[in-house]
């Protein structure tokens, strides 16, 4: 097989409408495949998306040779019936028959085109022809790679996916045998391969001296510059070309993209280096975005934890003032959440119901302990103090943005459905939904937990009482819903949040729920409200 210094050659394919000639203009690369980004698009299902490439390999005399390289295609590439192994490259001579999958071509010098002999076994459904020059080919490949990784990164949810997308894109485009994403331990400086691709990816030949240098900036080396003695490790590793580019954004260093090959086939290295630099820039941006998302997520979690801690502190403060009803707020929150879920409210509203249950009695902070713990009958003035707790709670919480959605429930959880409750005495659906919902949850807990002056009522009795008061004290629709809930689910709430209850029964302390019960059953408490 001889080579030719003639730069321009033809790739000839016979079709039903006549011969189709594809000009191979040196210097350059003509990518071939089913993908529309190729320079020569062969729209046949048996042709791989990125099947093969013709590339001009210049020699020292100023001439050169056209070579063909299979890109790991599924249906294979053959030259004169010799099957190329994946990523194998062969020089071409005039008259060579090149089979790309099921499609046959003949490699011709221009002078010989008048006497072409076309070898053909299959006819493509569509053949598109694009004559190319090297810059256009490389630009298109480059752009394709960057777009590919951009799309992959857009869908990537973690660092590993970004690394995989980066090495996939480079391996697919460059044809280099070893492509890797390498990270360096901050503790001991050891390099670790995070992702790798290419036919020799399982046996990566990492040049640690190149990796160390690339930490400071892109490194492009070939055995051509090895003569200087600067890259003796390439020879030891039997590598001919290495490109290594840091993946970094500003001061943030994420790792290194390492691209190496040991083949004798010479191609311009700078276009590959440009490709790796572009992919590294896109990958760095993606990794920085993921890092920022993680930081934001951590910050949100911290803020949420602080918020939850604040709520718990407020609830603990109520418990400290009203020890016998310890756990009341937490149980009301659970009842309210159960009721909201079974009422078919959406997740945001069910979460609001739980939060509102936790803080509904926060206004008791503003009521004196003497009044809260007074064992005897309350005076009108003392009752007015207790009855002020929804308004006090509303005023305490209204300055907190995350509480804005539950303020109405705090303010109106002692309204009655038929009117006559407090603080506003509104009725029916004029009472905000959260207020109607918390009202039932509040009463249910009051009835099913014990007091010094009475024992806890059975769940069935409490539900019967709510049914009896549906439409007068309680929203009848929510009353129906609470009755429909599995008793075991309701009963499990009663047994919760009782830790820390006083070992010695304190004097009876009127809770807001007690007041609600007193209104259902005048005389049910030792005090009248
Ligand atoms: Fe209350």
Please give the distance, rounded to the nearest whole angstrom, from the Cα atom of residue 312 to the centre of ligand 1. 17
Please give the distance, rounded to the nearest whole angstrom, from the Cα atom of residue 337 to the centre of ligand 1. 17
Please give the distance, rounded to the nearest whole angstrom, from the Cα atom of residue 461 to the centre of ligand 1. 22
The environment of the single-atom ion ligand 1, i.e. residues with CB closer than 5 A, is 361, 512
Q: What pLDDT digit, counting tens, does each position of 400-443 carry?
A: 888 999 999 999 999 999 999 999 999 999 999 999 999 999 99
The CATH 2.60.200.20 portion of the chain extends over 9-132
The C-alpha atoms of residue 308 and residue 429 are separated, in whole angstroms, by 30
Confidence of residue 453 (pLDDT cuts 50, 70, 90): low
Helix residue ranges per DSSP H, 344-448: 347-359, 369-372, 380-387, 389-397, 407-411, 433-448
Please give the distance, rounded to the nearest whole angstrom, from the Cα atom of residue 245 to the centre of ligand 1. 65
Confidence of residue 94 (pLDDT cuts 50, 70, 90): confident
- The CATH code belonging to domain 9-132 is 2.60.200.20
User: What local confidence, expressed as pLDDT, does residue 469 receive?
Assistant: 96
Q: Which residue has the tokens 């409490």?
A: 462
Please give the distance, rounded to the nearest whole angstrom, from the Cα atom of residue 206 to the centre of ligand 1. 70
Q: Are 2 and 93 in contact (CB under 8 A)?
A: yes
Please give the distance, rounded to the nearest whole angstrom, from the Cα atom of residue 389 to the centre of ligand 1. 7
Please give the distance, rounded to the nearest whole angstrom, from the Cα atom of residue 480 to the centre of ligand 1. 22
User: What local confidence, expressed as pLDDT, does residue 239 receive?
Assistant: 83
90 CB burial (10 A radius; 0-12, 13-18, 19+): buried
User: What local confidence, expressed as pLDDT, does residue 238 receive?
Assistant: 81
Answer CATH for 138-293 from 3.30.420.10, 3.30.450.40, 3.40.50.300, 1.10.3720.10: 3.30.450.40
Confidence of residue 104 (pLDDT cuts 50, 70, 90): confident
Q: Is the per-residue pLDDT at 127 higher than 70? A: no
Please give the distance, rounded to the nearest whole angstrom, from the Cα atom of residue 365 to the centre of ligand 1. 11
Quick one: what percent of the chain has pLDDT higher than 70?
Answer: 79
Please give the distance, rounded to the nearest whole angstrom, from the Cα atom of residue 525 to the centre of ligand 1. 15
Q: Is the per-residue pLDDT at 105 higher than 70? A: yes
Q: What phi-psi label fits residue 250: left (phi over 0), alpha (psi between -120 and 50 degrees) or beta? A: left
Min mean pLDDT across 72-86, 325-339, 391-405 is at 72-86
Q: What pLDDT digit, counting tens, does each position of 196-254 carry?
A: 988 888 888 888 888 888 888 888 887 654 434 455 667 778 888 889 999 999 889 99
The CATH 3.30.450.40 portion of the chain extends over 138-293
Confirm whether pTM is higher than 0.85.
Answer: no
Q: What pLDDT digit, counting tens, does each position of 60-71 carry?
A: 777 788 889 888
Please give the distance, rounded to the nearest whole angstrom, from the Cα atom of residue 390 to the centre of ligand 1. 7
Mean pLDDT of 452-465: 85
Answer CATH for 322-520 from 1.10.3210.10, 3.40.50.2300, 3.30.2010.10, 3.30.1060.10: 1.10.3210.10
User: What local confidence, expressed as pLDDT, does residue 17 receive?
Assistant: 53
Please give the distance, rounded to the nearest whole angstrom, from the Cα atom of residue 453 to the centre of ligand 1. 19
Q: Are 159 and 293 in contact (CB under 8 A)?
A: no
Please give the distance, rounded to the nearest whole angstrom, from the Cα atom of residue 360 to the centre of ligand 1. 6
Q: What pLDDT digit, counting tens, does each position of 477-504 carry?
A: 999 999 999 999 999 998 775 543 333 3
User: What local confidence, expressed as pLDDT, does residue 498 receive?
Assistant: 52
Please give the distance, rounded to the nearest whole angstrom, from the Cα atom of residue 411 to the centre of ligand 1. 9
> With DSSP H G I counted as helix, E B as strand and the rest as coil, what are the percentages for the chain, rounded to 5?
45, 20, 35
Mean pLDDT of 362-377: 83
Mean pLDDT (the chain, rounded): 79
The CATH 1.10.3210.10 portion of the chain extends over 322-520
């Amino acid at each position: 097989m001889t080579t030719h210094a003639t730069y321009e050659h033809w790739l000839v394919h016979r079709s039903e409408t006549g011969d189709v000639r594809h000009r191979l203009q040196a210097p350059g690369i003509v990518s071939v495949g089913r993908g529309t980004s190729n320079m020569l698009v062969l729209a046949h299902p048996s042709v791989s998306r990125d099947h093969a490439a013709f590339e001009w390999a210049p020699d020292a005399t100023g001439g050169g040779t056209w070579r063909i390289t299979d890109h790991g295609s599924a249906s294979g590439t053959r030259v004169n019936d010799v099957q190329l192994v994946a990523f194998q490259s062969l020089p071409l001579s005039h008259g060579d028959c090149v089979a790309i999958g099921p499609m046959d071509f003949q490699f011709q010098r221009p002078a010989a085109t008048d006497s072409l002999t076309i070898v053909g076994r299959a006819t493509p459904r569509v053949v598109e022809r694009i004559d190319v020059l090297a810059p256009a080919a490389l630009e298109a490949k480059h752009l394709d790679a960057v777009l590919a990784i951009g799309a992959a990164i857009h869908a990537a949810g973690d660092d590993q996916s970004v690394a995989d997308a980066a090495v996939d894109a480079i391996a697919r485009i460059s044809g280099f045998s070893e492509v890797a994403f390498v990270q360096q331990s901050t503790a001991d400086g050891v390099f670790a391969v995070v992702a790798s691709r290419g036919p020799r990816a399982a046996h990566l030949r990492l040049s640690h001296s190149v990796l160390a240098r690339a930490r400071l900036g892109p490194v492009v080396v070939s055995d051509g510059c090895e003569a200087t003695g600067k890259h003796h490790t390439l020879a030891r590793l039997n590598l001919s070309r290495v490109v290594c580019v840091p993946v970094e954004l500003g001061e943030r260093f994420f790792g290194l993209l390492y691209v190496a090959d040991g083949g004798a086939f010479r191609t311009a290295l700078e276009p590959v280096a440009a490709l790796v630099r572009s992919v590294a820039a896109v990958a760095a941006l993606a990794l920085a975005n993921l890092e920022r998302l993680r930081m934001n997520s951590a910050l949100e979690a911290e803020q949420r934890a602080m918020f939850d801690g604040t709520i718990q502190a407020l609830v603990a403060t109520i418990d400290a003032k009203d020890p016998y009803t310890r756990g009341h707020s937490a149980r009301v929150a659970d009842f309210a959440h159960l009721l909201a879920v079974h009422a078919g409210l959406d997740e945001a509203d069910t979460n609001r119901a739980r939060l509102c249950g936790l803080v509904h009695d926060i206004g008791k902070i503003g009521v004196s302990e003497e009044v809260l713990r007074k064992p005897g009958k309350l005076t009108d003035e003392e009752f007015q103090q207790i009855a002020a707790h929804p308004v006090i709670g509303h005023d305490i919480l209204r300055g907190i943005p995350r509480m804005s959605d539950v303020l109405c429930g705090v303010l109106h959880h002692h309204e009655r459905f038929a009117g006559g409750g407090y603080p506003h005495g509104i009725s029916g659906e004029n009472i905000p939904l959260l207020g109607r919902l918390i009202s039932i949850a509040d009463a249910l807990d009051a009835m099913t937990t014990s007091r010094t002056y009475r024992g806890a009522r059975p769940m069935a009795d409490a539900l019967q009482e709510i049914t009896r008061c549906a439409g007068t004290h309680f929203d009848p629709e929510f009353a129906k819903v609470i009755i429909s809930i599995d008793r075991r689910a309701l009963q499990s709430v009663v047994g919760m949040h009782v830790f820390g209850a006083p070992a010695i029964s304190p004097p009876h302390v009127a809770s807001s729920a007690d007041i609600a019960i007193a209104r259902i059953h005048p005389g049910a408490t030792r005090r009248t409200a």
